[in-house]
């Protein structure tokens, strides 16, 4: 656990980052674009000098930093994929710049494709991300603190993210933090007893809680923040019934890219966090497109493992070019596809967050790819592309001993995309989740 001195220190870092974010949010479009260009040029040169990953990638594609003269040259930069990050030693993935070796945190992306990817993120970029969340929460709360909140989170009590979330009490003073890995019944009891005005979690977790609540209604909740997964129409309807007075707001975040976009409270579109990322939409050949295409980002905040023209998010998007009712000049996307996490059901009929399963799987080293499939309640099949599949099953059985679930592990040579051909779902459930 963190000491009071550590909490104070991290509080100072968060508030320093918050000052930066508040100032950036007031910038005009020309000022944002100038910032993006300066940061991009610096980041490309930095990656070329300090990361073997980019030294090889640039050489393979015949790119040199001096070729980047204006925005039209952006597509000369090679696209970076999740596969480019897999199987590399840490020394290839992290900057050899001394300060970044010291001040960084390794993060593993579960990804919705089932292909793990590890990157290093500088501590400054983590604080910048948390500062953006703090500012957005304040906006969504109408500039007024909400009396009590509930964060259902997926990180450990001694992590940097946990400390930062704890400091978000400047926006939501009386907040509780609970693990999404707790039984749904326990989480539901907390929602009933605390009657929070503010809740932040994943759609799949809140869906499970809503199903557990049944006909009971939580009228006190005014704002629900959803992240990491797609909020489908059925889940939205279910949440609106259980939390009839709550505004549902989503953010588009990823382990690799931090905060990419946030949903406008006045419209269905997503505003790009342009001081954080450069966003592009490209077709299958990597060319810019005005239609539905692959979302590509360049993270402007992280120089530990820079992500330059990263296409590994696995999501499809379409630009929204009409003016937003809120008056924001930030670039926007209208259509966003790809993020999902199916809920799983135990033998006793309880809906279980998929993160309980996927986090346990990713504790096993040597995993190339995996997929969780449920065809009947109380039983799951885990398809793995791994050299140590035999070690995975007993590990999962130990981790999931309390889950009332049978686990079967299948070693397969590959895991193919679904019928739509866009991506490999991480979790597939053939069970109906209708309330």
Q: What is the pLDDT, as a whole number, of residue 59?
A: 97
* Domain assignments of the chain as residue spans, ordered by start: 4-125+257-263+268-337, 141-254, 344-429
CATH architecture of 141-254: 3-Layer(aba) Sandwich (3.40)
C-alpha count within 13 angstroms, C-beta hemisphere, residue 150: 25
Mean pLDDT per segment of 10 residues, for the chain of length 435 residues? 63 81 92 97 95 96 96 95 86 75 69 65 85 82 76 61 52 73 88 91 86 89 85 82 92 86 88 96 90 92 93 87 92 73 74 73 71 90 79 76 81 68 65 46
Q: What is the pLDDT, as a whole number, of residue 99?
A: 56
Please check whether the two domains, 4-125+257-263+268-337 and 141-254, share a CATH topology: yes
What is the residue-wise DSSP string for 333-368?
EEEEE------EE-TTS-EE-HHHHHHHHTTSTTEE
Specify whether the CB–CB gap between 247 and 142 falls below 8 A. Answer: no
Burial class (CB in 10 A: 0-12, 13-18, 19+), 8: exposed
Q: What is the pLDDT, as a whole number, of residue 321?
A: 92
Q: What is the pLDDT, as a whole number, of residue 337?
A: 67
CATH number of 4-125+257-263+268-337: 3.40.50.12780
Distance of CA 146 to the CA centre of its chain: 25
Specify whether the CB–CB gap between 298 and 274 falls below 8 A. Answer: no
Phi, psi dihedral angles at 272 (to 5 degrees): -75, 135
Q: What is the pLDDT, as a whole number, of residue 7?
A: 58
CATH architecture of 344-429: 2-Layer Sandwich (3.30)
């Amino acid at each position: 656990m963190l000491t009071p001195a550590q909490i104070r220190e991290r509080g100072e870092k968060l508030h320093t980052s918050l000052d930066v974010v508040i100032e950036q949010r007031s910038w005009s479009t020309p000022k944002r674009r100038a910032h993006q260009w300066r940061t991009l040029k610096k980041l490309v040169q930095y990656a070329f000098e300090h990361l073997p990953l980019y030294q090889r990638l640039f050489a393979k594609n015949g790119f040199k930093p001096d070729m980047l003269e204006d925005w039209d040259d952006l597509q000369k930069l090679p696209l970076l994929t999740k596969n480019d990050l897999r199987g590399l030693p840490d020394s290839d993935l992290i900057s050899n710049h001394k300060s970044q070796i010291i001040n960084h945190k390794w993060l593993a992306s579960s990804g919705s494709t089932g292909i793990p990817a590890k990157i290093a993120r500088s501590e400054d970029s983590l604080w910048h991300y948390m500062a953006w969340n703090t500012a957005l929460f304040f906006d969504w709360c109408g500039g007024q603190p909400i009396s009590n909140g509930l964060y259902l989170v997926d990180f450990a009590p001694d992590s940097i993210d946990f400390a930062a979330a704890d400091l978000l009490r400047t926006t939501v003073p009386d907040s509780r933090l609970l693990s999404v890995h707790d039984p749904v019944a326990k989480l539901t009891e907390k929602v009933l007893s605390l009657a929070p005005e503010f809740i932040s979690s994943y759609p799949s977790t809140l869906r499970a809680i809503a199903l557990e609540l049944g006909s009971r209604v939580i009228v006190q909740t005014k704002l629900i923040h959803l992240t990491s997964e797609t909020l489908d129409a059925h889940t939205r309807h279910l949440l609106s019934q259980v939390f009839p007075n709550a505004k549902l707001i989503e953010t588009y975040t990823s382990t690799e890219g931090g905060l990419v976009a946030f949903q406008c409270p006045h419209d269905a579109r997503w505003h790009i966090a342009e001081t954080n990322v450069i966003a592009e939409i490209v077709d299958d050949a990597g060319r810019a497109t005005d239609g539905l295409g692959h979302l590509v980002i360049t993270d402007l905040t992280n120089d530990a493992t820079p992500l330059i023209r990263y296409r590994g998010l696995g999501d499809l998007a379409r630009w929204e070019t009409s003016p937003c009712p809120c008056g924001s000049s930030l670039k926007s996307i209208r259509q966003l596809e790809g993020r999902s996490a199916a809920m799983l059901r135990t033998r006793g009929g309880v809906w279980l967050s998929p993160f309980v399963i996927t986090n346990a799987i990713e504790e096993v080293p040597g995993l190339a790819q995996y997929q969780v499939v449920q065809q009947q309640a109380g039983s799951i099949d885990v398809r793995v592309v791994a050299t140590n599949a035999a070690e995975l099953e007993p590990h999962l059985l130990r981790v999931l001993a309390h889950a009332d679930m049978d686990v079967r592990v299948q070693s397969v040579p590959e895991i193919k995309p679904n019928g739509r051909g866009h991506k490999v779902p991480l979790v597939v459930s053939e069970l109906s989740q209708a309330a």
